[in-house]
Amino acid sequence: MTEKRDLLDILVEIAEIMNKTKDVDSLLQRIIDLAKTYLKVKRVSVMLIENDKLKIVAAVGLNFDYSNICINLGEGISGKVAASGEEIVVNYADGVKKELGYSAKSYMCIPLKTSERVIGVLNVTDKENDFFTVEDVKIGKYIASQCALAVERFRLYEEEKRSEKLKLIGKFTASIAHDIKNLLNVAQGYLELLEIEISNNKVLREYVDSVVTELKIIYGLTLDVLDFSRNSILLTRERVRLSEFLSLIEKHTKIMVKFLDIKFEINCDFDEEIVIDKEKLFRVFMNLINNSVEALYGVGIIRIDVRKNDKFLIFEVYDNGIGIKKENLEKIFDPFFTSGKLKGTGLGLAVAKEIVKAHDGEIMVDSKEGEYTKFIIKLPVIK
Do 317 and 377 meet the contact criterion of CB atoms below 8 Å apart?
yes
* Weakly modelled stretches of the chain, pLDDT under 50: 1-5, 342
Report which residue type is found at 90: V
Which among 25, 59, 26 has a CA at the least distance from the CA of 43? 59
CATH topology assigned to domain 2-166: Beta-Lactamase (3.30.450)
Residues with Cβ within 8 Å of residue 65, at least 6 apart in sequence: none
In Å, the largest CA–CA distance within the chain is 95
| Pairwise CA distance, residues 145 & 46, whole Å | 12
pLDDT of residue 35: 83
Residues with Cβ within 8 Å of residue 199, at least 6 apart in sequence: 205
At the top level of CATH, the class of 171-380 is alpha beta
Which among 156, 168, 179, 159 has a CA at the least distance from the CA of 229? 168
pLDDT of residue 272: 94
pLDDT of residue 142: 85
Q: Where in the chain is the domain with CATH 3.30.565.10?
A: 171-380
Q: Where in the chain is the domain with CATH 3.30.450.40?
A: 2-166
pLDDT of residue 181: 61
pLDDT of residue 3: 47
CA angle 224, 228, 230 (to 5 degrees): 125
| Pairwise CA distance, residues 126 & 92, whole Å | 10
pLDDT of residue 31: 83
pLDDT of residue 206: 74
pLDDT of residue 4: 46
Do 369 and 324 meet the contact criterion of CB atoms below 8 Å apart?
yes
| Pairwise CA distance, residues 147 & 188, whole Å | 54
Report which residue type is found at 289: I
pLDDT tens-digit series, residues 235-257: 889 999 999 999 999 988 988 89
| Pairwise CA distance, residues 247 & 253, whole Å | 10
pTM reported for the whole predicted model: 0.51
Which alpha helices (DSSP H) does the chain contain, by range? 2-20, 24-39, 76-84, 134-172, 174-197, 202-230, 242-256, 278-296, 348-358
pLDDT of residue 340: 52
Q: Is the dihedral of CA 167, 363, 210, 341 positive or negative?
A: positive
